[in-house]
Amino acid sequence: MENQNVLFTIFGGTGDLTYYKLIPAFYQLFLGGRLLNDMTIIVLGRKDKDTTTYRDEVREILMKKISNFNENIFVAFSAKLHYYKMNFEKPEAYEGLNTFMESKNCPNRIFYLATAPKFFPFISEQLKDNKLLDIEGYARAVFEKPFGYDLESAEEINATISDIFGEDHIFRIDHYLGKEMIQNINTVRFSNQIFSAIWNKESIDNIQITVKEKDGVKDRGGYYDHAGALRDMVQNHLLQILALVAMEPPKSLNNHGIREEKVKVLQNLSIETELESHTNLIFGQYEGYRDEVKVDPNSNTETFVAMKCFVKSPRWEGVPFYLRTGKGLDGGEAKIVIEFKVDGSSTPLNAEKIPNLLIIKIQPDEGVYLRINTKEPRSESNLMSVNLSYCQSCDIFYKSPDAYERLLLDILNGDTAMFTGWEEVKSAWELISEVVKKCPDKSKYLDTYPIGSDGPASAHRMIKMDGRHWWRLDDLNNDSE
């Protein structure tokens, strides 16, 4: 473990992300003995409260959220937590923050910006101008997603922050990359000859990446109505998953090796933007979205996207990658389905062969499923398909760490492998900006869908036109949706 005599300062310390994700993750790390004693956490907010009140709020949240809550552990953990009241938009407030930080006597500093991206450059500049970065040890900066609103804003943010911190000290969070099964993609692919040898267009028919959310926008309508599914989900989570699945084997599985290969995938990704024909890009909006709080009553923001893309490389030529994501759907689920080509050789069985599938389940359950063909018992010629299933999250003695636990530990250890590099962010924004530019008026092509459904019918028609269907886990034995 790296030196953790560190001061970890969170801007946005009274926000949902800090209360419900970061603090619980820190608590679990502490509980597991993975935080060293000399670490201090400062949470920053505008609200008028003190450290005691903040610790009490945190205790209540943890007691509700964490089944293994322990009061004695909490007392030891919360001694690390300090609340600091400050308006981070006021330059004159930073000197006082620096004095407060100096009183904690830590040589290393990590700044976590759990704020809207428009504040990233300003806060970074103030940290520099007010000498909060003039320290003995390292200064790292963590930036929450979304990293910008579009290519231009992302470039502006990046120009400022990379000047101030340097790329090696910047951690751009995409918390999906910290999820257990996302981290497992490389292992499943590269440590099994049965997959690594056939991870290509000769054997794979298509790849489907689905991230469904059951909830609507809840109280985040103000943010979401300006973002939409394309910016909020596709630009980061879905493209990151696609890049991991499609990348060439990296020279090494370290930070630089993986990033280098993921960037190449994103730079060679083509997304068709033919909205009218409904053949490769579908935008949807759940019924009732326009009545949500802080949403424009005439909003044309998409709450659902389905798209077909291709990676232009010898490995993937002609293999479609189907992506879909949305809110207000029939369940919260994330999975990757790799559909193999049907083996054309003859078998002693007469029945039609069903394609092999490799499914990586990301959430809510975590696991790997493999579907193969076998002979039906007691029959001479009937074929049936069976699922070989490994469900990691079904093990009652094992609980996967939350993505933030893993990512916080990586930040403390200075490991940037599971964070997005600037070139990846830039390439992803270039793709999304291109789509946005080509589809300026979504109103004519925005298909509505009932809340609790599996999205607009057009998303099914799109893939059906290619002679395929979205694979559904619940009824794999019954084949398809």
Residue among 12 and 284 whose Cβ is closer to ligand NAP: 12
Q: Catalytic: which of 169, 237, 278, 469?
A: 237
349-358 burial, b if ≥16 CB within 10 A, otherwise e? beeeeebbbb
Nearer to ligand NAP, 114 or 182 (CB): 114
- C-alpha 152 chain-centroid distance: 22
Bridge partners for 449 per DSSP:
286
| Structure letter (DSSP) for residue 147 | -
Instruction: Supply the minimum distance, in Å, between the C-beta of residue 440 and ligand NAP.
Output: 25
Instruction: Pick the closer one to ligand NAP by CB: 131 or 218.
Output: 218
Count the alpha carbons within 13 Å of 189 in the hemisphere toward its beta carbon: 21
The whole-angstrom separation of Cα 3 and Cα 237 is 31
**Closer residue to ligand NAP (CB): 144 or 205:** 144
**Closest distance to ligand NAP from the beta carbon of 341 (Å):** 37
Q: Are 307 and 282 in contact (CB under 8 A)?
A: yes
For residue 46, what are its two tokens? 């505008």
Contact 104, 7 (CB under 8 A): yes
Q: Which residues pair with 336 in a beta bridge?
A: 209, 360
- Which neighbouring-strand residues pair with 385? 373
> Which CB, 119 or 310, lies closer to ligand NAP?
119
**3-class secondary-structure state, position 221:** helix
Active site residue 469: no
Nearest approach, Cβ of 223 to ligand NAP (angstroms)?
A: 6
Which residue's CB is nearer to ligand NAP, number 96 or number 450? 96
CB of 394 to ligand NAP, least distance (A): 26
H-run or E-run covering 69: none
In this structure, the number of other CB atoms found within 10 A of the CB of residue 217 comes to: 23
Using only C-alpha atoms, the chain has a radius of gyration, in whole angstroms, of: 24
- The contacts of residue 304 (CB under 8 Å, 6+ apart) are 229, 282, 283, 284, 285, 286, 324, 325, 326, 327, 329, 447, 449, 455, 456, 459
Query: Which position's Cβ is nearest ligand NAP?
Result: 15
Angle made by CA atoms 343, 349, 352, in degrees to the nearest 5: 55
Return the number of the residue (89 or 479) whose C-beta is nearest ligand NAP.
Answer: 89
Which candidate, 134, 178, 137, places its Cα nearest to that of 21? 178
Residues of this chain that bind ligand NAP (CB under 6 A): 12-17, 21, 45-47, 87-89, 114-116, 144-145
| Tokens linked to 88 | 């981070």
Distance CA 158, CA 425 (A): 10
Min dist CB 421 to ligand NAP, Å, is 19
Shortest separation between residue 226's beta carbon and ligand NAP, angstroms: 11
User: Are 206 and 321 a contacting pair, CB within 8 Å?
Assistant: yes
Rounded least distance, CB 138 to ligand NAP, Å: 23
Structure-token match 């492998």, residue found? 417
Q: How far apart are CA 40 and CA 471, in angstroms?
A: 47
> H or E stretch including 65?
helix 51-65
**Based on CB atoms, which residue is closest to ligand NAP, 222 or 249?**
222
Question: Beta strands 139-143 and 357-363: pairing type?
Answer: unpaired
Residue closer to ligand NAP by CB (options 309, 403) is: 403
Give me 224's structure tokens.
């979401």
Q: How far is the CB of 292 from ligand NAP (least distance, A)?
A: 16
Nearest to 335 by CA among 347, 317, 344, 322: 322
- In the complex, the smallest distance separating the C-beta of residue 411 from ligand NAP, rounded to whole angstroms, is 15
Instruction: Name which of 119 and 195 has its Cβ closer to ligand NAP.
Output: 119
**C-beta contacts of 192-195 below 8 A and 24+ residues apart:** 195/358
* Helix, strand, or coil (residue 16): helix
CB neighbour burial string for 76-105, b if at least 16 within 10 angstroms, e if fewer: ebbebbbbbbbebeeeebbeebbebbeeee
CB of 116 to ligand NAP, least distance (A): 5
Residues assigned a catalytic role: 237
